[in-house]
Each structure stands twice: as structure tokens, then as C-alpha cells.
Amino acid sequence: MEAKRRRDLIAQVWTERATYMDPALKGEGHAGIDAMVQGVHERFPGHRFIRTSDVDTHHNQVRFTWALAPQGGAPIVDGVDFGVIAEGGRLQAITGFFNQTSAKAQ
């Protein structure tokens, strides 16, 4: 994905003070989240995040599972994310947990 499109999508989906945190990464605000995503793309070229469940919601909370895998290949990491939706419908926070990682992801 081109950098400008990624930044535009982050600004559209996340609040300005949003946070993302998992066992390996942390990003704060649009710039921090953009840098984090760019770093993952650089470290794992040709890999994509795939949502592996429906998005479960109640009140302002979300939950979904995901995997990171190369095109047509087995996932190198998968997990579950829990999130908070801010007033206005944009993401305020995501906290991710890894279920399983392969040696390639470490």
C-alpha cells in the first residue's frame, strides 16, 4: 500500500490520540500508528493481515481475531485484538494479544 493512502486511511479510521499496543509494538497517534504499520510491512514484505473472525461488538467495545501470513502461505503469527470505539465511530484504542507465533515472526 502506498504511504499516502495508508496515512489517509489511518486518519479516517483512528482518532488523533489513538493508541495501538501488542506484545511487540506500540503506536500513539496517527504518526505513531503509521510508523508502526510501515515497520511491519518492511519487516515482513509480501505478508498481509487477514481478519479470521467476524467483528464482535457491544457498547463501544470490539473484538476480532487475525493472522499475519504471506500470500497463499501459513500464518506466522495470529491473535486477538480488543478495541475501544470513540464517539463518532473511530477507533480510540486497540490492545492486541498473540495466540501463536512462528520462528519467522520473532
Cut 0.85: pTM above it: yes
User: What does the alpha-carbon distance between residue 46 and residue 1 come to, in Å, rounded to a whole number?
Assistant: 11
CATH number for the domain whose boundaries are 3-105: 3.10.450.50
**Which residues of the chain are under the pLDDT cut of 70?**
1, 101-106
User: Is there a contact between 86 and 92 (Cβ–Cβ < 8 Å)?
Assistant: yes
* Domain spans in the chain, listed from the N-terminal domain onward: 3-105
How confident is the model over 36-56, as pLDDT tens digits?
999 999 999 999 999 999 999
